[in-house]
Structure 1
């Protein structure tokens, strides 16, 4: 999406961001040797879409998986800050990204070429029901082929018609995932979990082998077959803007795991990057 982030009194800086894009952008900067980042989305043919594609490429992100939609355009969001905590206004009703899973042949090509896949609950929420089912089907095939399928539920109630639909989609997505990176606040509100351990147990029960439960600025709970352990957070030097903190955590965690780190070491890398990102404006902080 096009991002407008605070740059001063009544001033905003324009950039590009969005939950899964934030993760792939940070992953590209931290990717282990031999890994290439690529992004599946849909864009239009307008000037802003062209600028966005150029930004992807300049960030080291392959654009082969991007669908082009005639007369389409990106969505837009604005960040509002209060003492470093963010809220958002969105304009994405006509965003081309809603068509990212509409073409079966395109998905076949994209999934054939990747060794690991990352997606989020926002990815699912913006899709029409049939396209959501199509994407989940391809993710299930990827898991069956032994590929890493990583999922951040990232539940945003305003994107769903009702919470029953949201819960059903998250559970369906978890069943086709090998790794889950939920945030406890979302899980407590959506599923009524009483603790991060409850969240981890619920996802394990859905067939997820590895779960890391984030808890805002608190410790994260890493849980895997044979072990479970909290990993303390790293206090940031300053909190300027919390936008993208969880997305950057996911990126550093995935880069570390794909590079051979164990779950605890990878969780620590997630904390390290998130603590730096909250010290700058916007989601993409170098």
Structure 2
């Protein structure tokens, strides 16, 4: 477990989310799962650096300004254009993505030791950049807490069996793993989510947490612990960034010493605040504290 004020390095993609709904003009929101986690951690007061790629274009400048407004230190390799995704929302606000993204992060060294490293999504499994990410994580494994969220994007994952191998390699490198039931359904069709979580624990993590949408979330520990948390009912604007807000709040609560049930409660509450407003807009410390007080 790390200190709540220790520095966390987040590694992965930034994406300009172009949100498209029928009868309304497109809106662009800063996004990308790892970038959202870094932003969410910073909003909760945790020092965060994002190791990523950005283009010198309007979308890149928008994303950088967004991250830095929360206090995230952005360490970005240059690319020709900032990755983007067209996000289409259905009648319930659920998001579906069409990506224009490449991931070519070069090998890098760290100037100082992080307290924790978070990786996930496209940046952890998409070559050639994934090789640099995993090499860095392997060098720091055992010296920094490693967390991982597969945040599966089927259109970018390639052949399923290969994707499963890549994801399970990341799981085995990690101390804390968060996934959604949708992630697990794509990786392991027809399998029970709790059975998958327990199998992942056997690969090495101390904790595996799984989100269940409107059904809340559960978590298992390698020591046999188990907890569940109900979702917080809210009017849904859209689901963009909800899982990333969950991840940031779960990691922050764990670093602060909360028990497993407390980590889940804070995480599902943060996710509810995010779905109640457009885009990947995680809560501040004050917002989360107030929402937890209302929840009792």
Q: Where does 1:37-76 land on structure 2 (aligned, <5 Å)?
A: 37-63=48-74, 65-69=75-79, 72-76=80-84
- Identify which of 231, 251, 254 aligns with 2:228: 231
Contact 2:180–2:210 (8 Å) recurs in 1: yes
Query: What is the TM-score when the length of structure 2 is the normalising length?
Result: 0.83
**C-alpha distance in 2, partners of 1:67/1:148?**
24
- 1:257-279 Cα offsets, whole Å, 9 max, x none, are 11221222111100101111111
Partner residue in 1 for 2:134: 136
User: Pairwise CA RMSD of aligned residues?
Assistant: 2.1
- 1:3-48 Cα offsets, whole Å, 9 max, x none, are 22358832122221111111111111113xxx41111101123343
**C-alpha distance in 1, partners of 2:65/2:267?**
27
Q: Where does 1:186-225 land on structure 2 (aligned, <5 Å)?
A: 186-192=183-189, 194-225=191-222
**C-alpha distance in 2, partners of 1:193/1:223?**
20
Partner residue in 2 for 1:108: 109
Offset at residue 51 of structure 1 (A): 3.5
Contact 1:199–1:213 (8 Å) recurs in 2: no
Offset at residue 285 of structure 1 (A): 4.9
Partner residue in 1 for 2:17: 3
Contact 2:125–2:167 (8 Å) recurs in 1: no
Offset at residue 255 of structure 1 (A): 1.1
Q: In 2 relative to 1, CA 4–188 (structure 1 residues): closer, same or farther, beyond 3 Å?
A: closer
- 1:188-207 Cα offsets, whole Å, 9 max, x none, are 33124632321221111111
Corresponding pairs, count: 269
- Identify which of 156, 160, 169 aligns with 1:159: 156
Gaps of 5+ in 2: 1-14, 284-296
Query: What is the TM-score when the length of structure 1 is the normalising length?
Result: 0.86
Q: In 2 relative to 1, CA 92–225 (structure 1 residues): closer, same or farther, beyond 3 Å?
A: same
Q: In 2 relative to 1, CA 196–160 (structure 1 residues): closer, same or farther, beyond 3 Å?
A: closer
Contact 2:202–2:222 (8 Å) recurs in 1: no
Partner residue in 1 for 2:250: 253
